């Protein structure tokens, strides 16, 4: 059988500098190797009781234990999903459905990932009242504003741990305390944060937490939702009783095993990588501001992930700059990978600055542990050339 041409990929391109790790990361070798036996050898359905199925089930259980231990959680508090978007959907839809007799009010912010915002809109169409709390000029939400939004029928608060476009960290622990004090459930989208910063659901009063493997050098198609014991939640994918009845469908054992291995490595090397990525980001920040005028940094400089920084360049369309950098072999982003196909400016930068033009001028750099100082220096030079060229075109 001859494969269609679209399945045969010939790579013939110059060296690429990948500075878009917030969109996805390269699968680590250890995860890749750990996954291989589960494709062609240990391939039985883990729900089956015969020996081959039990072997697959063991891999699933071992992975669940690894993820649970990373959060100091119980194994049964980990529900495997296809990724962060599904985990967010399960958290919001599942909780609001299970608690429909208690209340119909959800609180979130205006800079959440679309997996939360679009789910909130879906819930609004189905009778849920949603409050979108605004963030400050630094991209952080004031916990007091969250508390003021709480009503007698508030069921759930959902605030992301780290923003996917700016890297800004939210005051999760403070929000968790407020939620607990008012008897409101608290969900955080930790897709960008898991494996990069310390996370403790118990300490931070988190009831539900979403994560996705491909953000920490694991495979695409695997993620999880932490659900604290006793949290009311309903399934929204119906069928079998997999994942404690919360997520029907045969589990993606290879992906889940790969995720657990990637999580182990990310957590073991977290401090070392954070220090290195922060150094690279500072070098990029200082170099860009020294080279160019009319540059703004979007989001907090004090509370953010170590490898993410978002710039706006006055007089330059972000999309044009992205194309120019791509021609120089540099991969960056103008915003979330999930909305790159639309022509609308970043809702995150617009919410932070109140300026759609500045949002259209924004570019996100997300550096990882595989980037080098030499690459950052090349980015600074290439960025300077591109911005200066694009500004001249407008004169």
Give me the active site residues, please. 338
Closest CA to 165 of 16, 376, 353, 337: 337
Query: What stretches of 159-211 show up as alpha helix (H) in DSSP?
Result: 172-181, 201-204
The position carrying tokens 């073991």 is 268
Closest CA to 143 of 94, 99, 190, 180: 180
Give the integer Cα–Cα distance in Å for 376 and 272. 18
Answer whether 155's CB lies under 8 Å from 129's CB.
no
Chain centroid to CA 134: how far?
A: 20
Counting DSSP H helices and E strands in the chain, the numbers are: 14, 12
Neighbours of 326 (CB within 10 A): 12
Look at strands 308-313 and 129-133 and give their pairing: unpaired
The token pair at 321 is 């700059």
Give the integer Cα–Cα distance in Å for 77 and 11. 42
């Amino acid at each position: 059988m001859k494969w269609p041409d679209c399945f045969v990929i010939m790579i013939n391109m110059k060296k690429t500098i990948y500075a878009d790790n917030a969109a996805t990361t390269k699968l680590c070798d250890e995860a890749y190797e750990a996954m291989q036996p589960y494709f062609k050898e240990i391939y039985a359905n883990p729900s089956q009781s015969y020996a081959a199925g039990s072997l697959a089930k063991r891999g699933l259980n071992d992975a669940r234990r690894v993820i649970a231990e990373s959060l100091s959680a119980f194994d049964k508090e980990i529900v495997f999903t296809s990724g962060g978007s599904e985990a967010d959907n399960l958290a919001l839809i599942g909780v609001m459905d299970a608690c429909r007799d208690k209340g119909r009010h959800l609180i979130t912010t205006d800079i959440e990932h679309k997996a939360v915002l679009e789910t909130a809109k879906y819930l609004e169409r189905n009778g849920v009242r949603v409050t979108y709390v605004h963030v400050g000029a630094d991209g952080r939400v004031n916990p007091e504003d969250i508390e003021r939004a709480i009503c007698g029928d508030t069921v759930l608060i959902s605030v992301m741990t780290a923003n996917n476009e700016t890297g800004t960290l939210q005051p999760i622990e403070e929000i968790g305390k407020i939620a607990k004090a008012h008897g409101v459930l608290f969900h955080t989208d930790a897709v960008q944060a898991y494996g990069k910063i310390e996370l403790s659901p118990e300490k931070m009063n988190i009831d539900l937490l979403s994560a996705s493997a491909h953000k920490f050098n694991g495979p695409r198609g695997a993620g999880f939702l932490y659900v604290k014991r006793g949290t009311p939640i309903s399934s929204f994918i119906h069928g079998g009783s997999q994942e404690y009845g919360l997520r029907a469908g045969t589990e993606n054992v290879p992906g889940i095993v790969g995720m657990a291995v990637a999580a182990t490595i990310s957590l073991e090397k977290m401090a070392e990588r954070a220090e290195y990525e922060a150094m690279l980001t500072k070098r990029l920040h200082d170099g860009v501001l020294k080279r160019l005028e009319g540059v703004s940094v979007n989001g907090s400089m004090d509370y953010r992930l170590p490898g993410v920084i978002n710039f706006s360049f006055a007089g330059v369309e972000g999309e044009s700059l992205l194309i120019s950098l791509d021609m120089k072999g540099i991969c960056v982003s103008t915003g979330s990978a999930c909305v790159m196909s639309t022509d609308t400016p970043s809702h995150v930068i617009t919410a932070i600055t109140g300026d759609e033009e500045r949002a259209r001028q924004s570019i996100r750099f997300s550096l990882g542990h595989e980037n080098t100082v030499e690459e950052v220096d090349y980015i600074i030079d290439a960025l300077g050339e591109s911005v200066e060229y694009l500004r001249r075109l407008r004169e």
